[in-house]
Amino acid sequence: MAKNVKTVNKNARYGNMKNSKKRKHKKRRHILLLTSILMLILTVCWYIVDASYKEDKSKGYTKTKDGQAAQDVIQLKRAENINRDNSAYSTGNYANVYNYIDTVKPVINNDFDMTMGNDGYYRMAGQNRYSILQLTDIHITGTESVYDKDLKAVQTVYSMIQRAAPDFIILTGDVIFGTDDYDANDGIRALNVISTLMDKIGIPWTWCFGNHDHSFFDRYTSDIIASMVSQSNTLRMYKNNPAVNGYTNGTFKLYNKNGALIMGLILMDSGNIIQNTDGSYGYDYIRDDQTAWYEQEVAGLREDNPSVSSLLFFHIPLQEYINAWDSGIVVFGTKREDVYCSSYHSSLFDKVVQLGSTKAMFVGHDHLNDYGAYYNGIELVYGKSIDYTAYPGIENSTEQRGATLINITSDGNYSIVQMQYE
């Protein structure tokens, strides 16, 4: 009986299997049809995206080191996929970074925010003294394998901001670790880390790109970049001018209690990597069209106040930084490595001397240099760096690590304090 039951059950299963096969065949046909339709839709969408991508490249927005367009699909990740939900990034050991950021308290400054003036420039007004903190070469990786170094970088940034309690923070490049083959998801996480940290601190900040920032962001269009950086509530970015080289050329205005313009803070984009005349690759430089734009910005400041001074901020040093150390008047700091500037000479410094507005310029890039020196009447300053990752073994070096505090008075004078991390 048991045998018959087993046979009946077996036959029943077999009959069900035949019916199941018929259903599966129908299902497979439906799946194949739906798959074909989906592939057609994806193909059409890809051509649309690719056409848009190529159009952007023609504007010079998307270039790699060798001048060829980046083709990896992951590089086309759209900003709408980027959010501030930290749970998406707090994975594995990297959760330690976000756990620390959760403990960060707002830093109290002079309780004011920047406003956008009718002239389209960000303005700070109502004080007779302003403090500007330069941070440079933070090099957040967003990478699980070196989360501990990212954590140290975040802790250092917070410590320096706590000590300085500035009115405004300027990041002079290489905020993220980006390279040409840098994983897009790591880059997005690095961007999320710095944005989340700075928003928790609460002080307005801005950012001029360094070469490592470019190596990540250059895979996107300028509109997508703008959408990415707009994720931060405290970041104050100016509208990109596509007619001028670079993404981050912009000016901020400082006014005293009497309503007089006392200082212009001019940020410039020093680019990434370019091809040298011998076919090799080297660092970029501030181009002639940017110098012309700088001259226009100075003229605009002088329309408001003919005697106004300005300060310049960018990432890659000019060739004149070599001259400043070799034959200038060294005021502070140490030269611990070569000046890694472009082999091409920028016209910017000569224009700065000619116009007589800019009193000092501040760069990063060379992580071990932290000197300030006068050359042809202009103070050339290296900001102290944060880096725990980019230079081999630099996590064990301490003398160069810190921040640069610039104090500005109501008459447009300034002083510099190099703050070492302790």
DSSP-derived secondary structure for 276-289: -TTS-EEE----HH
350 and 325 in a common domain? yes
41 and 19 in a common domain? yes
| Average of per-residue pLDDT across 109-131 | 86
183 and 45 in a common domain? no
Residues 312-348 pLDDT 10s: 999 999 999 999 999 999 999 999 999 999 999 999 9
10 Å Cβ neighbour count for 131? 18
Of 58, 79, 95, which one is at a domain's C-terminal end?
Answer: 58
More confident residue, 313 or 1: 313
Residue 44: HSE in the Cβ half-sphere, 13 Å Cα cutoff: 5
Choose among 381, 415, 260, 214: nearest CA to 312.
381
Q: 129 exposed, middle or buried (CB, 10 Å; 0-12, 13-18, 19+)?
A: middle
190 and 46 in a common domain? no
18 and 161 in a common domain? no
Do residues 360 and 414 make contact, with C-beta atoms less than 8 angstroms apart? yes
Q: Are strands 281-283 and 329-332 parallel, antiparallel or unpaired?
A: unpaired
Do residues 263 and 310 make contact, with C-beta atoms less than 8 angstroms apart? yes
Q: Are strands 378-382 and 372-375 parallel, antiparallel or unpaired?
A: antiparallel
Percent of the chain with pLDDT over 70: 79
Q: Which residues contact 177 (CB under 8 A, 6 or more apart)?
A: 139, 140, 141, 142, 143, 186, 190, 212, 389, 390
User: In 3-state terms, what secondary structure has residue 31?
Assistant: helix
Q: What is the pTM of this model?
A: 0.80
Residues 30-47 pLDDT 10s: 545 555 555 554 444 433
Q: What is the DSSP letter of 81?
A: G
333 and 299 in a common domain? yes
Measured between alpha carbons, how far is 155 from 177 in angstroms, rounded to an integer?
17
| Average of per-residue pLDDT across 45-51 | 36
* Sheet of strand 261-267, all strands in order from the earlier edge strand to the far edge: 115-116, 122-124, 250-255, 261-267, 309-313, 358-363, 378-382, 372-375, 329-332
| Average of per-residue pLDDT across 88-99 | 89
For the chain, how far is it from start to end, CA to CA, in angstroms? 86
Do residues 246 and 269 make contact, with C-beta atoms less than 8 angstroms apart? yes
Q: The domain spanning residue 342 has which CATH number?
A: 3.60.21.10
Residues 183-195 pLDDT 10s: 888 999 999 999 9
360 and 260 in a common domain? yes
Measured between alpha carbons, how far is 56 from 199 in angstroms, rounded to an integer?
31
Q: Which residues contact 348 (CB under 8 A, 6 or more apart)?
A: 268, 286, 290, 291, 294, 318
Q: Tokens 């960000």 appear where?
A: 122
Query: Of all helices (H) and strands (E), which one includes residue 155?
Result: helix 147-164
| Tokens at 180, concatenated | 């040409």
Residues 373-385 pLDDT 10s: 999 999 999 999 9
Of 58, 76, 93, which one is at a domain's C-terminal end?
Answer: 58
**Strand blocks (E) in 78-228:** 115-116, 122-124, 129-135, 168-171, 205-207
User: In 3-state terms, what secondary structure has residue 373?
Assistant: strand
DSSP-assigned letters across all residues of 293-305: HHHHHHHHHHHH-
Do residues 89 and 140 make contact, with C-beta atoms less than 8 angstroms apart? no
126 and 211 in a common domain? yes
| Tokens at 327, concatenated | 């034959």
Measured between alpha carbons, how far is 263 from 252 in angstroms, rounded to an integer?
8
Measured between alpha carbons, how far is 326 from 48 in angstroms, rounded to an integer?
54
Measured between alpha carbons, how far is 201 from 203 in angstroms, rounded to an integer?
6
pLDDT number for residue 231: 86
Percentage helix, strand, coil, to 5, in the chain? 40, 20, 40
Measured between alpha carbons, how far is 137 from 174 in angstroms, rounded to an integer?
5
**What is the number of structural domains in the chain?**
2
Residues 203-256 pLDDT 10s: 999 999 999 999 999 999 888 998 899 889 999 998 778 899 999 999 999 999
φ/ψ bin of 135: left (φ > 0), alpha (ψ from -120 to 50), beta (otherwise):
beta
236 and 147 in a common domain? yes
104 and 54 in a common domain? no
Domain that holds residue 198: 66-420
254 DSSP β-pair partners:
124, 263
Of 58, 79, 96, which one is at a domain's C-terminal end?
Answer: 58
| Tokens at 179, concatenated | 């390279």
132 DSSP β-pair partners:
168, 406
275 and 203 in a common domain? yes
48 and 153 in a common domain? no
402 DSSP β-pair partners:
420
Using the predicted structure, report yes or no on whether residue 300 has a pLDDT greater than 60: yes
Do residues 316 and 283 make contact, with C-beta atoms less than 8 angstroms apart? yes
